[in-house]
Structure 1
Amino acid sequence: MPDAELVLRSTRVITPAGTRAASIAVAGGTITAVLPYDAPLPRGARLEDVGDHVVLPGLVDTHVHVNDPGRAEWEGFWTATRAAAAGGITTLVDMPLNSLPPTTTVGNLRAKRRAAAGRTHVDVGFWGGALPDNVADLRPLHEAGVLGFKAFLSPSGVAEFPHLDQDRLARSLAEIAAFDGLLTVHAEDPHHLASAPQRGGPRYADFLAGRPREAENTAIATLVAQARRLHARVHVLHLSSGDALPLIAEARAEGVRLTVETCPHYLTLTAEEVPDGASEFKCCPPIREAANRDLLWRALADGVIDCVVTDHSPSTADLKTDDFATAWGGISSLQLSLSAVWTEARRRGHGLQDVARWMSTRPAGLVGLRRKGAVEAGRDADFAVLAPDETFTVDPAALQHRNRVTAYAGRTLYGVVKSTWLRGQRITADGAFTAPRGRLLDRNP
């Protein structure tokens, strides 16, 4: 009989071997065994029986803009990690931009960690940034524990985080490849963006025309060529263009070390339903048409797209004006991502086993968090307990995000998160939260 302080029991547990009734033994924050449902309770263990609610591995969101320090009025570690916990996310990885300073030097990483210390309700890791002038900082950042690097191929929207041109991309990627690091990239080609019609105003159709699929397709082709040449690890962030999928599939079949993510908003929202002036739907690259969404779902089912993460990119409400040209681009969805994806996945015939793979197992694997992402012995006892058939209507006032602006307002979603557990401790249930228990994570050696 394994050691256990806690046994979490459910008739439906998502494990790597499938969904089954099971009792999960936990000791010291680690899963010690996944036992048969009716296994005897280990001596001294406390039983938590969640009945028919589904136990998933805690979600891992590798694309979150916390914006702290420096722009904490947009979001912050306290609010972002509460929202994550409320949505079943137990680990997030913070992007290096939109905070001041950006995470582009070891000193700036220390400032980021100081801002987060003692204020995280879930575990938090950090990306470093690759800028035109910081190639010499990349290896020290890697050695200091960042999980990888973020770069833009077109303007980022904030002056302190400039994009890489072709030459600087090659230099940065060569340096990162030298220590087998991971470069994640916002892939939109600046020349295609510059030549597209740029019209201000409230019409979503005008904004969409200004961010054409060709900008993504061309940038991804550039990344494929560089990854192939350098045998480097490259990850395409927030894919929205279905046109790029054949190129991605072909490159991967050739052995190019390319991974790809998409986001809940590309899988659940469509251009046809975005009201004019509703900049809560604005993001870059943009939400595209329903037919394009179908292509993304097919690629996700086929494994061409690896994972689903939020790109949670909040701002204060005043920056979400009704002019799509000047409004801040970003969608807040940390608390709603699991329910949003599950709602559309179930409609398309996918199961929670698939959702756990897309939103927990594969993101954890992407950044090398070997203790995360699965309900199995030796992993952290991180769980999301979900009532998959219950529904709720999204009320912005009920969100934990600092600024309660959401593209999902008024939508009815399936999947109510009943409780979230971090290393065997329940951190939220029924709207109540414990004191922060999150840890700051380094890259695994």
Structure 2
Amino acid sequence: MSTADLSTGRRAAPPGARLDLVIRGRRVITPEGERGVEVGVRDGVIVAVEPLGAGLAAEEVTDLAADEVLLPGLVDSHVHVNEPGRTEWEGFASATRAAAAGGVTTIVDMPLNSVPPTTSVEALETKRAAARPSAFVDVGFWGGAVPGNTDDLLPLHEAGVFGFKCFLIDSGVPEFGHLDPAELETDLTELATADALMIVHAEDGAVIGSAPAPHGPHYADFLASRPPQAESVAIGQVIEVARRTGGRAHILHLSNADALPMIAAARAEGVRLSVETCPHYLSLEAEHVPDGATAYKCCPPIRDAGNQDRLWQGLRDGLIDIVVTDHSPSTPDLKALDTGDFGDAWGGVASLQLGLAVVWTEARARDLQLTDVVRWMSAGPAALVGLPTKGGIAVGKDADLAVFAPDEAFDVEPAHLHHKNPITPYAGRRLSGRVRRTLLRGRTITDVPTGTLLRRGEV
């Protein structure tokens, strides 16, 4: 099947015809929990989920090995692909190959750091043209909210973006400006008329401006330049604007657990607020970042182990809704690998291929289950962006699946990653859980791109 735009919604086919594929396994993660079932697929859609032993027949039948678990394909709603314009950082072919290798079957691309950024319908079509021939998994798009483009927001919404990203601080690239609180309120008021989602990089520029400037090879100096109060102040601003406008707001890449009580209070009041965090905040600690190891630099920053424990508690308590990678790659020179200067290095962690293994490794050490990981990394992101046929193994869902060996350990070797620039803070780290096979609409992803471009509302 060639890559093409496709509606995100499908109905299960009539049950009488022969199935194309049956996968049988003792461990299958379904919305009802982990079960032994047979999954029947026809025309790319799951049309049957029956108890193991039901005897479903198909042209192709796969029996999972004893050490394998069938997961729904992950949905990563926070990926910077950067094509066109900065394709040397990452491109759709390399990013979606990496996604497939990590069990991710749907990504939603951020509106920066491509050139042009996705801040108009014309720019969206330019990005779709770049993605269409080379996507190995399904791809959706966020729009961007920047100073001066309020009139572009609703046309972008009608054109099918899944929501809008804004920054409350310098984004790091000149073509994607940040909003001040008044502009945020103007734009969220506009988006509330269409019940569209605003996703926010929430750090406060005034707090960071009063902190020491980042410099040199010591991570502690960089950490001091992005204090936790910067997140707390900005999240407070988002809450106030969402309260006044009634709009839907989502906090991106939460790293500061101090903000969780105010998030809980806002939700209890009825503010429409959701929250994500990322694998690096759940697995890496500031205390263990080596001098000069700029692969660890991201904004907001990786914080201390005690903070990490509280983020995990936030997931347990349901205050943090989803876990997505914030895959934000760059070329080696921009990471200042030669000098190790955290002040000069680009801030971003590339982990699209590794997110599942990283989160599962940490989750199992904390007595959490694969059902939890699937809720945070598949079902939750699909619900956030409005993809009802993604994120679950159930009748009527797309047959986007990952065959996962949760007990198989491996050491991260950057040369084996599909990211265009395999720079990673996980180099040499031992992880649990290997993806052995990824299927998109019932077909194993191979060297031929078969991903589709998704549009909001085509359900």
1:414 is aligned, of 428, 432, 438, to 432
Aligned position for 1:48: 62
Q: Which amino acid aligns with 1:327?
A: A
Aligned residues with identical type, % of pairs: 60
Aligned equivalent of 2:106, options 91, 95, 118: 91
Task: Give 1:310's aligned amino acid.
Answer: T
Provide the residue aligned with 2:11 in structure 1.
none
* 1:326 paired to 2:324: no
Aligned partners of 1:209, 1:409: CA distance in 2, in Å? Answer: 25
1:434 aligned to 2:447? Answer: yes
Structure 1: distance between partners of 2:111 and 2:366: 35
Match of 1:74 in 2: 89
Q: Distance in 2 between matches of 1:417 and 1:203?
A: 35
How far does the alpha carbon of each residue in 1:320-347 deviate from its partner, in whole angstroms, 9 at most, with x for none?
A: 1111111000000000000000000000
Taking structure 1 as reference, are residues 261 and 2 closer, same or farther at Cα in structure 2, changes over 3 Å only? farther
Letter in 2 for 1:307: I
Partner of 2:175: 160
Measured in 2, the distance between the counterparts of 1:51 and 1:18 equals 19
Is 1:12 the counterpart of 2:34 in the alignment?
no
What is the number of residues matched between the two proteins? Answer: 439
Tell whether 2:296 aligns with 1:281.
yes
Distance in 2 of aligned mates of 1:133 and 1:384: 42
Query: Matched residues in 1 for 2:49 and 2:369: separation?
Result: 21
Output the CA distance in 1 between the equivalents of 2:373 and 2:16.
29
Report the Cα distance in structure 1 between the residues aligned to 2:399 and 2:347, rounded to whole angstroms: 35
TM-score normalised over the length of structure 2: 0.95
Q: In the alignment, does 2:364 pair up with 1:350? A: no
2:286 maps to what in 1?
271
> For 1:306, which of 321, 328, 353 is the aligned residue?
321
Say yes or no: does 1:443 pair with 2:452: no
Amino acid in structure 2 at the alignment position of 1:390: E
User: Could you report, residue by residue, the CA deviation over 1:54-93 in whole angstroms, capped at 9, with x for unpaired residues?
Assistant: 0010000000000000000000000000000000000000
CA deviation map 1:274-295 (0-9, x unaligned): 0111110000000000000000
User: 1:362 is matched with which residue: 380, 385, 388?
Assistant: 380
Deviations 1:36-63 (A, max 9, x none): 1111233x43201112310010000000
Of the three residues 351, 370, 390, the one matched with 1:372 is 390
1:339 maps to 2:357? yes
Aligned equivalent of 2:423, options 378, 383, 405: 405
How far apart are 1:128 and its partner, in Å? 0.2
Q: 1:233 to 1:2 in 2, by over 3 A?
A: farther
- The match for 1:176 is 191
Q: After TM superposition, give the deviation of residue 253 of structure 1 in Å.
A: 1.1
Residue ranges of structure 1 left out of the alignment (5+ in a row)? 428-432
* CA–CA separation in structure 2 for the residues paired with 1:205 and 1:98: 27
Q: Which amino acid aligns with 1:51?
A: A
1:186 is the counterpart of 2:201: yes
C-alpha distance in 2, partners of 1:275/1:176? 43
Aligned residue for 1:430?
none
In structure 2, which of residues 101, 120, 123 is the aligned counterpart of residue 108 of structure 1? 123
Give 3-state SS (helix, strand or coil) of 1:314's partner.
Answer: coil
Residue deviations 1:179-237 (CA, integer Å, cap 9, x gap): 11000000001100100111411110000000000000000001001111111100000
Amino acid in structure 1 at the alignment position of 2:78: H
Choose from 237, 245, 254 the match for 2:252. 237
SS of equivalent residue, structure 1 residue 5 = strand
Residues in 2 aligned to 1:247 and 1:341: alpha-carbon distance in whole angstroms: 25
Structure 1 pair 333–175 and aligned structure 2 pair: CA distance change class (3 A): same
Q: 1:399 to 1:120 in 2, by over 3 A?
A: same
CA shift digits 1:141-167 (9 cap, x unpaired)? 000000000000000000000100111
* 302, 316, 335: which one aligns with 2:331: 316
Mapped contact 1:105–1:137 kept (Cα < 8 A)? yes
SS in 2 for 1:45: strand
| CA positional deviation for 1:2 | 5.3
Report matched runs for 1:246-261 at 5 Å: 246-261=261-276
In 1, the alpha carbon distance for the partners of 2:305 and 2:273 equals 26
Query: Is residue 121 of structure 1 aligned with residue 139 of structure 2?
Result: no
Runs ≥4 residues deviating over 4 A: none
The runs of 5 or more residues in structure 2 that have no matched partner are: 1-14
SS in 2 for 1:437: coil
Q: Distance in 1 between matches of 2:128 and 2:410?
A: 35
TM-score computed with the length of structure 1 as normaliser: 0.98
Q: Aligned partners of 1:250, 1:212: CA distance in 2, in Å?
A: 22
Check the 8 A contact 1:78/1:119 in 2, yes or no.
yes
Per-residue deviation, 1:255: 1.0
**Are 2:438 and 1:423 aligned?**
no
Task: Give me the whole-angstrom Cα distance separating, in 1, the residues matched to 2:214 and 2:144.
Answer: 31
Q: Which of 34, 43, 62 is 2:77 aligned to?
A: 62
SS of match in other structure, 2:234: helix
C-alpha separation in 1, matches of 2:243 and 2:56: 53
Q: Which residue of 2 aligns with 1:211?
A: 226
The one-letter code matched in structure 2 to 1:363 is P
Is the Cα–Cα contact under 8 Å of residues 2 and 32 in structure 1 kept in the other structure? no
